Amino acid sequence: MAPKLVSAMSVVIACLVALAFLFESSHAAGGATYNVVSYGARGDGKTDSTKAFLRAWSAACFSSRSATVYVPRGTFLLKPVVFSGPCRSSRIVFQMGAGTSTTLVAPSNYWELGNTGNWILFIKVTGLSIYGGTVDARGAGYWHCKRYGKSCTAGARSVSLFWCSNVVVSGLRTLNSQTMHMAIDHSNNVHVKNVWIRAPSGSPNTDGIHIEASTGITITASTIMTGDDCISLGSGARNVWIERIACGPGHGISIGSLGGSVNEDGVQNVTVTSSVFTKTQNGVRIKSWARASNGFARNIVYRNLIMKNVDNPIIIDQKYCPGNKGCPRQSSGVKISKVTYKNIRGSSGTQVAMNFYCSPSNPCWGIKLQDIRLTYGKKAATSSCANIGGSKSGVIIPRSCF
Ligand SMILES: *[C@@H]1O[C@H](CO)[C@@H](O)[C@H](O)[C@H]1NC(C)=O
């Protein structure tokens, strides 16, 4: 070979090696990427992309290394979809984005979400990150049916995590769900941050985030505006940390309704801190059915909270019994203990700013009040107590009734 040709070839080879190295190293850092568009999804807002998303998910799930399902800019129509594990890949990133320009929409006919109960469901996945994007369930038709219709579908939650662990959800926006916007059930070690949730204040049962039978759940730096609870914690929610939430409109942050069944797991070790409630029905609420149960709520801390014109800033309600059905003795079996309210300030929308109605058969105990300052317009706010005991320190306004 001529020396010139040899040197030209060696330059080409060197370049190829360098390119291959770059290519490899980017893969080594980011793992394999599966773009839903390569699997047939179309971001035109009309084409059903469900199967394409499932194919991309399967490819990522079966990958032997960390894998990204990538949803590019566009509006993608999805029917009910289940992204299921267990996966071979131990880390899956579900990346939507560029910012808010990637949207997943539900079909415009509400009944197409059917009776499955969930629209976008992740099940048995360990090591999942969901980043960015908007999901819009377009729930208005469903709410209308609920309000005026005779037979509606069961309704679907928008984004659900069942039997998942080691999950991060960050930067997601979820709008107008038929029922709950996010549900975390039988899962552990889940961190939800920087999410933005919105449904109209009159929309029925559109809770923001619901947690049940799960442990190690952190929800931070999020804005939640809904027609029901901003965050609700059901039976078996443990080790829950909630911080920097802007809640309202909505029904506040609720534990309960507990005690719906006789045998049920309790709620314990929950902290709600550094949050603001604006024009909500409740601030921090614990609610239970007025009937027999072995449930409980204990080791709960509410601190550094601001209430802005909240109807019931602090409330325990153990006499829940809609329609007065199924509550023969009108007394809750749910045991509430060790609940601390510390540094809670602002305004109440009703005169009774602190309302504790505990069970006559299972009084609340170990309730602590410290540095509470709640006002009611130009009049004095009041507090109301039944079947409760505990201690207080610092300035308490309105004056404690126990
Ligand atoms: C309570 O929950 C927090 C997380 O919110 C956790 O770090 C802590 O270890 C839990 N405490 C107990 C006693 O389990």
Decide: 299 in ligand 1 pocket, CB within 6 A: no
User: What are the structure tokens assigned to 207, written together?
Assistant: 């809770």
Give 268 Cα–ligand 1 centroid separation in angstroms: 9
Which amino acid does the sequence have at 309? N
Cα 245 → chain centroid: 11
Quickly list DSSP for 126-188.
Answer: EEEEEES-EEE--THHHHHHHHH-SS-----EEEEEES-EEEEEES-EEE--SS-SEEEES-E
Is residue 11 scored above 90 in pLDDT? no
Higher pLDDT, 14 or 112: 112
Rounded CA gap, 254 and 234, in Å?
A: 9
Determine whether domain 43-175 maps to CATH 2.160.20.10: yes
pLDDT greater than 90 at residue 22? no
**CB distance 241 to ligand 1 below 6 Å:** yes
| Angle 122-98-198 from CA coordinates, rounded to 5° | 60
d(C-alpha 318, C-alpha 321), whole Å: 9
Residue, of 28 and 396, whose pLDDT is higher:
396
Q: What residue owns the CA closest to ligand 1's atom 14?
A: 239
Out of 238, 269, 270, 300, mutate this one to test ligand 1's pocket (max ligand atoms within 8 Å of CB): namely 269
Main-chain phi, psi angles of 4, to 5 degrees? -60, -45
Q: Sorting pLDDT into bands at 50, 70 and 90, what band is 20?
A: very low
Could you give the 3-state DSSP secondary structure of residue 381? coil
Query: What are the domain boundaries of the chain?
Result: 43-175, 229-402
Nearest CA, atom 9, ligand 1: 239
Ligand 1 atom at minimum distance from 216 CA: 4
The residue whose CA is least distant from atom 3 of ligand 1 is 239
Domain 229-402 class in CATH: mainly beta
* CB of 273 sitting under 6 A from ligand 1: no
Sign of the torsion angle spanned by Cα atoms 356, 358, 363, 364? negative
Residue 196 Cβ < 6 Å to ligand 1: no
What pLDDT was estimated at residue 218?
A: 98
Distance CA 101, CA 62 (A): 28
Q: What is the pLDDT of residue 7?
A: 53
Q: How far apart are CA 256 and CA 244, in angstroms?
A: 21
Topology alike, domains 43-175 and 229-402: yes
207 Cα: distance to centroid of ligand 1 (angstroms): 25
Two structure tokens written together for 131: 């980043």
**pLDDT band, very low/low/confident/very high, at 145 (cuts 50, 70, 90):** very high
Mean pLDDT along residues 155-170: 98
Looking at residue 16, its pLDDT comes to: 41
SS3 204: coil
Rounded to whole angstroms, how far apart are CA atoms 123 and 133? 20
Top mutation candidate among 239, 267, 273, 303 for ligand 1, by most atoms within 8 Å of CB:
239
Conformational region of residue 323, where left means phi above 0, alpha means psi within -120 to 50, and beta covers everything else: left
Model confidence at 98, pLDDT cuts 50, 70, 90, reads low
pLDDT at 123: 98
Which pLDDT band holds residue 100 (cuts at 50, 70, 90)?
A: low
Q: What is the largest CA-CA distance in the chain?
A: 101
Report percent pLDDT > 90 for the chain.
Answer: 88
Q: Give the residue, by CA position, lying nearest to ligand 1 atom 7.
A: 239
Return the exposure string of 107-123: e unless at least 16 CB atoms fall within 10 Å of the residue's CB, then b: beebeebeebbbbbbbb
pTM listed for this prediction = 0.92
Range name among 100-104, 109-113, 220-224 with the lowest pLDDT average: 100-104
Q: Give the Cα-Cα-Cα angle 63, 156, 234 (nearest 5 degrees).
A: 90
Share of the chain above pLDDT 70, in %: 92
Whether 319 and 288 have beta carbons less than 8 Å apart is answered as no
Residue 138 near residue 106 (C-beta atoms within 8 A): yes
In ligand 1, the atom with minimum distance to the C-alpha of 271 is 5
CA of residue 80 to ligand 1 center, whole Å: 35
pLDDT for 37-70, tens place per residue? 999 999 999 999 999 999 999 999 999 999 999 9
Specify whether the CB–CB gap between 147 and 204 falls below 8 A.
Answer: yes
CA 241, chain centre distance (Å): 12
Q: Which of 322, 310, 319 is nearest to 360 (CA)?
A: 319
Strand partners, 334: none
Which structure tokens are listed for 112? Answer: 């197409």
The finding on whether 129 has its CB within 6 A of some atom of ligand 1 is no
Using one digit for the tens of pLDDT, what is the confidence trace for 246-284?
A: 999 999 999 999 999 999 999 999 999 999 999 999 999
Mean pLDDT in residue range 236-244: 98
189 lines ligand 1 (CB under 6 A): no
pLDDT band at 86 (very low <50, low <70, confident <90, very high): very high
Query: By three-state DSSP, how is residue 289 classified?
Result: strand
Nearest CA to ligand 1 atom 2: 239
Please tell me the predicted confidence (pLDDT) of residue 12.
Answer: 46
Has 251 been annotated as catalytic?
yes
Of 181, 210, 229, 251, which one is the catalytic site residue? 251
Q: Is the pLDDT of residue 225 over 50?
A: yes
Identify the pLDDT of residue 23: 38
Task: Look at residue 21 in the predicted model and tell me its pLDDT.
Answer: 37
Taking the centre of ligand 1 as the mean of its atom positions, its distance from the CA of residue 185, in whole angstroms, is 18
Hey, whose CA ends up nearest to atom 8 of ligand 1?
Answer: 239
